[in-house]
A and B are shown apart, each in its own frame.
Chain A
Amino acid sequence: MSKGIPLAEALARYRADADIAPLPGSTDIDTLLNTYHPDHLRGSVVKLAVGANAGDSCQRELAGLLQAEAFIDEADLAGSPVTDIDVLVIGGGGAGCAAALAAAENGARVLLATKLRLGDSNTVMAEGGIQAAIEPDDSVQRHIQDTLRGGHHVGDPTLVSALAGDGPEVLHWLINQGMQFDQTPSGDLHTRRAGGMSTPRLVHCRDYTGLEMMRVLREAVIQHRSIEVWEQSPAVELLSNEVGQKCVGAVLTSLNNGQLRIVRTRSVILATGGLGRLHLNGFPTSNHLGATGDGLVLAYRIGARLCELDSFQYHPTGLVHPSHLAGKLVTEGVRAAGALLVNGLGQRFIDELQPRDVVCAAILRECSEGRGVRVNDQHSGVWLDTPRLERAQPGLLEKQFTSLMTRTRVAGIDPRVEPLLVHPTLHYQNGGAVIDANGATTVPGLYAVGEVSGGIHGRNRLMGNALLEIISFGRRAGAAATADRDRGPKKVTLEHVNQLRRALTLAGLPMTQRAPQILPDYAAGGVWNR
């Protein structure tokens, strides 16, 4: 990535009032995606050799983790303190909180364990909003169609109709918990239309929807009498029954003192989120520090089937500069409001409102063909022309994009005056653990909700469906996990780990790498040492 126009030169050349030539003729979308989208990079996908998805395609770095050695074996369990609980929720983001609250509402005693602080999650950063078909000319059916089409018709129609059908009731539940939304002067919930929606369906709380949702759910969980919360307590392994075929608990550690703790339970709900912090294919990420794909690793090791392991969403507009915000998002809303993408030569190169995967590939094409703006040998990008937007609609950025303005102000950047340098950033894991409409995985006793689960978004997620999914399926799984009448485990073992070790040996795979990752390497020195 050493090609491109040097930053200083590009900045000197940039004019917010320059005439912009119309877009060059039509682009061949398929060729563009196949040549430049990271999912199609040569060597970025391998076949899995062991486990429930043996033979399936999987992103290379993720495959390494799915087929890795565990951290612990039976000897480590001896002497570890044991906790018995009805339902264990692993993960303290929106999905985990919704699942815990639903389980508690249904009478379960719940333990919610989270790697970092309760509420530290990608939920808290979601800006756009939550989809729900509530407008008079909208319907659940249209929401289903849009979601399936957006996912390139790979999504599971049963899950998608459960999701869309829950939309209005999810908003009702959130308002009952005390979440606010923007309203029109007549009191209706205000809706926006975003990429892939055939009609306005995005309900929001300015551009702080995720923060508003997370702080309300976090408070509700903390205040709930039947929910215990363990922070700084990542899961290192699940526990299985004697034959390794049912999930009966988990082994947690502590970031503070490394103490292992055994939790025995009737059901485990994985709500561990995504894997942006694995920096797949060397990309920066918009994700929270804890998003290291731990749930996928744990689920796969205990035998759960996963899906779409080669499909990830790279958000087109991640910040390149300033460095402490590298990879962090500029919301799609800015492009929806009219901001253009411009390369280092001052030319437009793609229709900015094409689906995310297409815009992402187009930006990567500009950078690799030398028309990007080059910061240094490792970093380049293109301009998001916010000053032009400000000229066209004065005051818009300040009024509608509070979060963006606050974040850039801290760094001494004013998007109204200088354009933002952006580059695609790893944003979302489209696939994940295969689930049914209750959030149940293919392993008895194990549920998965939120980004760690798969099948809803197919191979591309629409804006606003993630916040809906975490509440809809979080609540479904919480209720279903509580309804499991199983009396709980007699014996907890690591039999599934032994089985995977045998399979790895038979397949001749190395067992040098250990997983789950827990934290990215660059933070591990500071936070956690294995």
Chain B
Amino acid sequence: MTTSNTTANGDDQAQSVALTINGLAVNAHEGMSLVEAAWHGGVPQVTSVGCLEGVCGSCRIMLRRGKEVTVGLACQTFVENGVEVVFLPPASAPLHHYEVSDFKDGWDIQARFQDIFPEASRCRHCHGCDNACPKGITVENGVALAAAGRFREAGEAFFECVMCELCDAACPELIAPAHVGLFSRRVTAHFHLRPPNLIHRLEELRKERMENPPKDRRKKNNED
């Protein structure tokens, strides 16, 4: 058995496919993903490969087929004759800053959102984000929901988001939709997820600790 996960699956007569990756000509086999093709062709400096199953959002690529240019994830995209592929650099640090612990309660959350993501209400409906999303998320609609303060629904729209941040790169208004989506999901849980079964168990454990404080609390470094 080979030690590689990625050798072709035995289609010995697999068709050869010629493409370009990061400017290098690569000959791959039909059915290979672009990550497999990059390894197969020994393309150097491919530093953004992660889970290989489409959930870590690292292997961002830009593809050119003739005049059509698209983006996607290399582990989920397959080789085609003549396609030109460029592995994109990692996303830059987000421009928007917030810590969930800074929010005191949920009543001013729409105002806080507008402070943090002022661009979100300036969407010009170009569909760039929708076209960029490798997961088929209705990004533009999700941003509109968040801008309207409907964070639960906005977060639900972003359920399959893998934080590849290709929509952020696509947005001419610098909205950072992926972070808008995650913000929406986070505030929904932070302010509204209050499960009775969990709260009941936490309360039981708190009472237990009050009644018999743990003896061997070895906070060795705090006591000197």
Contact = CB atoms under 8 A, between A and B. Distances in A.
B7, B38, B42, B189: residue with the most chain A Cβ atoms closer than 10 Å: B189
B44 A525 contact: yes
A396 interface: no
A325 B221 CA distance: 47
By DSSP majority rule, is chain A's interface helix, strand, loop, or mixed?
loop
Contact of B53 (A188, A325, A377, A484): A325
B114 interface: no
A-side interface size class: 35 or more
A219 B42 contact: no
B32 A403 contact: no
B8 to A, nearest CB: 6
Given A285-B5, A526-B44, A484 B221 contact: yes
A353 interface: no
Contacts of A180: 155, 185, 188-189, 193
Contact of B75 (A116, A117, A324): A324
Interface in B177-213: 179, 182, 185-190, 193-198, 200-202, 205
A288 B56 contact: yes
Contact of B195 (A187, A208, A288, A526): A187
B36 A324 contact: yes
Contact of B163 (A215, A223, A410): A215
A483 B217 CA distance: 14
Interface string B93-106: 11001111100000
A283 B50 contact: no
Contact of B56 (A119, A402, A528): A119
Interface string B23-45: 00000000111011011001111
B56 A324 contact: no
Contact of A527 (B2, B46, B52, B155): B46
Interface of A: 1, 116-117, 119-121, 124-125, 132-136, 140, 165, 168-169, 171-172, 175-181, 183, 186-189, 206, 208, 210-212, 215-216, 218-220, 222-225, 231-232, 255-256, 279, 282-285, 288-290, 320-328, 375-379, 402-403, 406-407, 410, 437, 480, 483-485, 520-523, 525-529
Given A179-B186, A324-B32, 11 more contacts: A134-B200, A187-B196, A206-B159, A219-B163, A255-B47, A325-B52, A328-B53, A376-B9, A410-B76, A526-B44, A528-B47
30 contacts: A134-B195, A168-B201, A168-B202, A176-B190, A183-B195, A187-B196, A219-B163, A219-B179, A219-B186, A220-B99, A220-B100, A223-B94, A223-B98, A256-B45, A282-B2, A285-B5, A288-B50, A322-B9, A326-B9, A378-B2, A379-B9, A403-B55, A406-B54, A407-B54, A483-B221, A484-B221, A522-B39, A525-B39, A526-B44, A527-B46
Interface of B: 1-10, 12, 31-33, 35-36, 38-39, 42-56, 58, 75-76, 78, 90, 93-94, 97-101, 135, 155, 159-163, 179, 182, 185-190, 193-198, 200-202, 205, 218-219, 221-222, 224
